[in-house]
Amino acid sequence: MGGFFGTVSKAGCVTDLFYGTDYNSHLGTRRGGMATYDAEKKLFTRSIHNLESTYFRTKFEDELDKFTGNSGIGIISDTDAQPIIINSHLGRFAIVTVAKIQNIDELENELLAQNMHFAELSSGKTNQTELIALLIIQGKNFVEGIENVYNRIKGSCSMLLLTEDGIIAARDKWGRTPIVIGRKDGAYAASSESSSFPNLDYEIDSYLGPGEIVRMRPDGLEQLRKPNEQMQICSFLWVYYGFPTSCYEGRNVEEVRFLSGLKMGQTDASEVDCACGIPDSGVGMALGYAEGKGVPYHRAIAKYTPTWPRSFTPSRQELRNLVAKMKLIPNRAMLQGKRVLFCDDSIVRGTQLRDNVKVLFDCGAREVHIRIACPPLIYACPFIGFTASRSDLELITRRIIKELEGDENKNLEKYATTGSPEYEKLVDVIRQRFGLNSLKFNTLETLVESIGLPKCKLCTHCFDGTGCF
Ligand code: SF4
């Protein structure tokens, strides 16, 4: 997906920018970038690094001296090299995006036909952030240009523009990805994750609405475009992507995870000795489940944090499997002879869960029960570049549906309906395949209740196939 941070201040911005961007590291794994603007020197400075082998801070800390100025933007990206710096009739600006463009080929051909060109070819492909910048400069002003992006792209796009007059923050028109505004004396910041703020002394000022555009200057916020009424924020943010201390739309990630586990624990008839979480995103749910069920929470698997401090998802599947295995260490002392119940965020391909379950039995667990924070993922995500489910057949559910029906697209609505015979069959096949004593998924109703927003404001497409395109 990717995450960004931008700040504009009466004082130098570099320290806040560096740490604020770093606090978005769990949202992307490929590239990191920062750009600052120095108004005295009228100078943009930019740097981009590959993060596939090491972390953002390691890559950038030796070159912090070269950045100067009071405003800057940074990104941890799963896609292109960013920020892009453009000189245009709108003035000079740098841009970072959290975006997925489904119709990139069509838009690229149109722009080429209009005699525009692409300079930043990353891995031989068009850089989607550059394409977005070219769509912006088709407008008479920034707002018109950003609306051009909203109207033209299929997918989603939130962005920060570092201009010679402050930072413009624009949230995706459906609000699928968030932007939170922070404030402190003499400075404003915009971030994908509000967890960037507390240690840098920012308070949450506001959550941008869908399609809302604001300009941040050190002494205030100016609304340039009102938010749209309809919203489709990604519900998976609370399940998987989000950092526990983050809030979107005022709803805290850890609270939502805890509540979804609590509700499940209160109604689950399982007989188990303890509840445990698969680190990191299964832990909040497991704590809630333990409380709801009235069983102890145990840490029967621990993550090796000294060298695996974040979710690291290399692009090659074999490497991903290796990473998934190496970063989690089972604790035989807490597993031997026990009936353990593990909470996890979701099941995508199922490879990781299969390995984890095998390890639990190998370590002497008597029974293994799995509880999943969300409903089965039936539909691939077309909106935000949820990297783990690029195509339908990568999903274990669709592979099983293909086996059962001879066609991975048949009866999807039935398989997505909790309690239907097709749903029960699907869950049971997954359970058997992993050798589990029991397997349950949270219902969509419980997930939506735990998030605490009306369902019509949430994107739940990957669970039930609904949503606005
Ligand atoms: S399809 Fe799923 S992952 Fe994609 S935006 Fe919607 S809820 Fe989020």
- In this structure, are 194 and 338 located in the same domain? no
Ligand 1 pocket test: which of 459, 460, 468 has the largest number of ligand atoms within 8 Å of its C-beta?
459
Q: Is the pLDDT of residue 13 over 70?
A: yes
- 174 CB under 6 A from ligand 1? no
Which runs of consecutive H residues, i.e. helices, occur in 46-163? 56-60, 104-113, 128-136, 142-152
- In this structure, are 95 and 224 located in the same domain? yes
Q: Work out the pLDDT band at 352, boundaries 50, 70, 90.
A: confident
Residue 116 located in a structural domain:
yes
Which atom, in ligand 1's list, is nearest to the CA of 389? 3
- Burial (0-12, 13-18, 19+ Cβ within 10 Å), 303: middle
Which atom, in ligand 1's list, is nearest to the CA of 386? 3
- In this structure, are 198 and 279 located in the same domain? no
CA dist., res. 189 & res. 160, Å (int): 11
Ligand 1 pocket test: which of 171, 383, 444, 451 has the largest number of ligand atoms within 8 Å of its C-beta?
383
Which atom, in ligand 1's list, is nearest to the CA of 380? 1
CA dist., res. 158 & res. 35, Å (int): 17
- In this structure, are 271 and 125 located in the same domain? no
Q: Summarize pLDDT for 281-327 with one digit per residue, the tens.
A: 899 999 999 999 999 999 999 988 777 655 455 666 677 777 777 88
How far is the centre of ligand 1, averaged over its atoms, from the C-alpha of 289 (Å)?
24
DSSP letters, 305-368, are TTT--S----SSHHHHHHHHHHHEEE-HHHHTT-EEEEEES--SSSHHHHHHHHHHHHTT-SEE
Domain's final residue, options 158, 193, 228: 228
- What CATH number is given to the structural domain containing 303? 3.40.50.2020
pLDDT of residue 375: 97
- In this structure, are 136 and 282 located in the same domain? no
- 378 CB under 6 A from ligand 1? no
Domain's final residue, options 193, 228, 263: 228
How far is the centre of ligand 1, averaged over its atoms, from the C-alpha of 383 (Å)?
6
Parent domain of 439:
251-464
Residue 244 located in a structural domain:
no
**Whose CA is closest to 1, among 100, 95, 82, 103?**
100
Q: Summarize pLDDT for 29-41 with one digit per residue, the tens.
A: 889 999 999 999 9
- In this structure, are 224 and 255 located in the same domain? no
Q: Is the pLDDT of residue 200 over 80?
A: yes
Q: Is the pLDDT of residue 239 over 90?
A: yes
Residue 378 located in a structural domain:
yes
- 384 CB under 6 A from ligand 1? yes
- In this structure, are 177 and 314 located in the same domain? no
- In this structure, are 60 and 142 located in the same domain? yes
Whether residue 280 has a cis bond before it, omega within 30° of 0: yes
- 461 CB under 6 A from ligand 1? yes
- In this structure, are 126 and 29 located in the same domain? yes
The model scores a pTM over 0.85: yes
Tokens of 373: 């924070």
Q: Summarize pLDDT for 117-173 with one digit per residue, the tens.
A: 888 776 678 899 999 999 999 999 999 999 999 999 999 999 999 999 999 999 999
Q: Work out the pLDDT band at 468, boundaries 50, 70, 90.
A: low
- 248 CB under 6 A from ligand 1? no
How far is the centre of ligand 1, averaged over its atoms, from the C-alpha of 357 (Å)?
27
Tokens of 53: 């082998």
Residue 242 located in a structural domain:
no
The mean of the pLDDT values for the chain is 93
pLDDT of residue 308: 65
Residue 234 located in a structural domain:
no
CA dist., res. 197 & res. 203, Å (int): 7
- In this structure, are 222 and 352 located in the same domain? no
- Burial (0-12, 13-18, 19+ Cβ within 10 Å), 169: buried
How far is the centre of ligand 1, averaged over its atoms, from the C-alpha of 442 (Å)?
16
DSSP letters, 407-427, are STTTTHHHHTSTTSHHHHHHH
Residue 239 located in a structural domain:
no
pLDDT of residue 322: 76
CA dist., res. 401 & res. 405, Å (int): 6
- In this structure, are 173 and 264 located in the same domain? no
Q: Summarize pLDDT for 68-86 with one digit per residue, the tens.
A: 999 999 999 987 899 999 9
- What CATH number is given to the structural domain containing 167? 3.60.20.10
Domain's final residue, options 228, 263, 282: 228
Residue 469 located in a structural domain:
no
- 462 CB under 6 A from ligand 1? yes
pLDDT of residue 259: 98
Total domains, the chain: 2
- 236 CB under 6 A from ligand 1? yes
Residue 433 located in a structural domain:
yes
- In this structure, are 114 and 259 located in the same domain? no
pLDDT of residue 443: 97
The shares of helix, strand and coil residues in the chain, as percent rounded to the nearest 5, are: 35, 25, 40
Q: Summarize pLDDT for 419-462 with one digit per residue, the tens.
A: 999 999 999 999 999 999 999 999 999 999 999 999 999 999 99
